[in-house]
Amino acid sequence: MSELREKIEKHLLNVQKPSRYIGGEVGSIMKDASKIDVRFAFCFPDTYDIGMSHLGMKILYSLINERENYWCERVFAPGLDFEEIMRENDIPLYALESLDPVKDFDFIGFTMQYELSYTNVLNMLELAGIPVFARDRGDELTNIICAGGPCVCNPEPLADFFDLFILGEGEEVNLELMDLYLEMKKQGAGKLDFLRRAAQIQGVYVPQFYKFHYKEDGTIDHLEVTDNAPEKVRKRIIKDFDSVYYPENFVVPFTEIVQDRVSVEVLRGCIRGCRFCQAGFIYRPFREKHTDTIVRETKALCENTGYDEVSLASLSTSDHSEIDPMLTELIDYTAKEKVNLSLPSLRVDNFSESLLEKIKKVRKSGLTFAAEGGTQRLRDVINKNVSEEEIMNTCRIAFKGGYASVKLYFMMGLPTETDEDIIGIAELAHRLIDLFYSIEDRPKGKGIQISISCATFVPKPFTPFQFEPQDTREMIEHKQKLLLDSVKTKKVKVSYHDSNVSMLEAVLAKGDRRLCQAIYTAWKKGCKFDSWGEHFHYDRWVEAFEECGVDPAFYANRRFEYDEILPWDHLDYYVDKKFFIRENQTAHKAVTTPNCRQRCSGCGVNKVVGRECFC
């Protein structure tokens, strides 16, 4: 290790942010490797600055390290400057705690948060000196390459590179896998025998036991399952969210990271049922922590890490049933200890003056709301369940409360969208400006600023819109220009996504195993850090698709039929496919479905896990 450490330290002053690569931060966990039975390299396929902001890594890092004979260490994708140094000086990819090479670890686990990080996985494996394709790694029981996270709800585009995938929540299944590994390692078993046993653990998907057969038109004909693997792999969930493990300490970076604060998870799942939102469905059922649990965890983390800012992590914090008393207790504590409390984006349909008063105590900048659609018809199509009256009332409360800056999130390219819906985005912004100036007790001496952020709609698996085609690049560019032409004042600022990035995201999100070779080819052409605008090379991806005989439009711009076998149909995230079909049909009628607290919509999740619905 000392020789590798010397190599690393010799070059640190030649890279940006050397602290990304040295480890030793406050809160990092060191152990004696000679006393460890199973080593887990937790890999984040992006830079340290982004990966260290990820809450899931912090939870599983601490959880695994609670076991005396297990050691979890952190690994991040090196920046391009340090990667060049690594290749020139034979420095292998290493873990930050021990500085040991990743290839010395039993488990090499990636968290897959975003489709455009796929090429980084291949790059990290190569830097570690590990064969990229699973078929080339032999049968020795070591280097189990695994992955979890939201993207593994359709892992097929990555299937050739991984030994197994972990579906759902990892707090329990990760330790079960490591226990099985240790048991079989002591028996002298090979990797294939281990994978056969692992496939019997709920939530573990071993792709080599599943073979797809295709029709002449390119759609899936049937799936062949071998080695006694389950026909359907069901995700794991944590049923008792109040008692689930949560760390009392985090690693505190030496350098500033993207979200440089304590994060406290307040709930999982979502009651809303927005038809475009993958997270809202794959994280079901809805579960929340009690206020006393949230306050206790907040105090412990702030006191142990020294952070002076805490954020509440969830899909929709304002849907917490104890939101008012929870914020009251948290604000009492944070105000006393001079800790800033950061709240996530808010919903306009449960925004109130009392909530605003609490927010004003912890947030002084502008407010952010997700309207998603520019017209009421389109908001009904996507089941946003937000009316224009609620948007106007919420902004009226904000303006009267002293705010003069509002940011609105929209999506472009939604199913059934027309030019009128795009023009409606600009018209809504103009009406908000008129509203601001109609309020007599508005903030004096301030000019109104409306910021519009438009993401391109990407159809995702396990949503009612998984069947929908994505707009072509030409269609999106037409709508972007139309929106800009429809804005008549400098008081409205518009930003939007690169349509090429969104197209690639759709291809990778809805793709099947035939994409593996194209991803590999794109990586060999130099594609990595694809989510970074300055590193994204769309032309190289086009070349890779052409060379591999892949038509991106087959995945991104084609409507998937209801009776079609989808690449992820053999994976069970508890929501019934019939529900998605029903919701898709309802969307095309522009009819809304009430949220879970108002009426059960029959998604099937609570029935499967033995829980009662809200109503």
pLDDT tens per residue, range 396-435 = 988 888 889 999 999 999 999 999 999 999 999 999 999 9
CA quadruple 384, 389, 390, 391: dihedral sign: positive
pLDDT band at 364; cut points 50, 70, 90? low
Percent residues over pLDDT 90 in the chain: 85
Please state the CATH superfamily assignment of the domain spanning residues 2-229 in this structure: Cobalamin-binding domain (3.40.50.280)
Question: Strand pairing of 164-166 and 204-205?
Answer: antiparallel
Q: Please name the residue that has the structure tokens 């799942």.
A: 269
Task: Tell me: pLDDT of 78 over 80.
Answer: yes
Q: How far apart are CA 160 and CA 118, in angstroms?
A: 12
Task: Tell me: pLDDT of 445 over 60.
Answer: yes
Alpha carbon 484 to chain centroid, angstroms: 30
Buried b (16+ CB within 10 A) or exposed e, 462-481: bbbbbbbbbbebeebeebbe
User: Is 613 exposed, middle or buried, given 0-12, 13-18 or 19+ CB atoms closer than 10 A?
Assistant: middle
SS3 content of the chain, % helix, strand, coil (to 5): 40, 15, 40
Crossing angle (nearest 10°) for helices 499-510 and 538-547: 40
Domain boundaries, the chain: 2-229, 362-497
Question: Looking at residues 358-370, what average pLDDT do you find?
Answer: 70
- 44 and 76 in contact (C-beta within 8 Å)? yes
Please give the span between the terminal C-alpha atoms of the chain, in angstroms, as a whole number: 59
Task: Tell me: pLDDT of 363 over 80.
Answer: no
Q: What is the pLDDT of residues 524-574, one digit of tens each?
A: 999 999 999 999 999 999 999 999 999 999 999 999 999 999 999 999 999
pLDDT band at 606; cut points 50, 70, 90? confident
Residues facing residue 342 across a β-bridge = 311
Question: Looking at residues 368-376, what average pLDDT do you find?
Answer: 92
Q: Which phi and psi angles does 490 have, rounded to 5°?
A: -75, -5
Token pair in block for residue 274? 């927005």
Which CATH code fits 362-497?
A: 3.30.750.200
pLDDT band at 306; cut points 50, 70, 90? very high
Neighbouring residues of 533: CB distance < 8 A, sequence distance ≥ 6: 498, 501
SS3 63: helix
Q: Please name the residue that has the structure tokens 């709800």.
A: 153
Question: Looking at residues 110-126, what average pLDDT do you find?
Answer: 98
Q: How far apart are CA 245 and CA 289, in angstroms?
A: 12
Q: What is the pLDDT of residues 328-358, one digit of tens each?
A: 999 999 989 999 888 765 677 777 777 777 7
Question: Looking at residues 437-466, what average pLDDT do you find?
Answer: 92
Distances in whole angstroms, Cα of residue 313 to Cα of each of 33, 256, 379 = 34, 19, 25
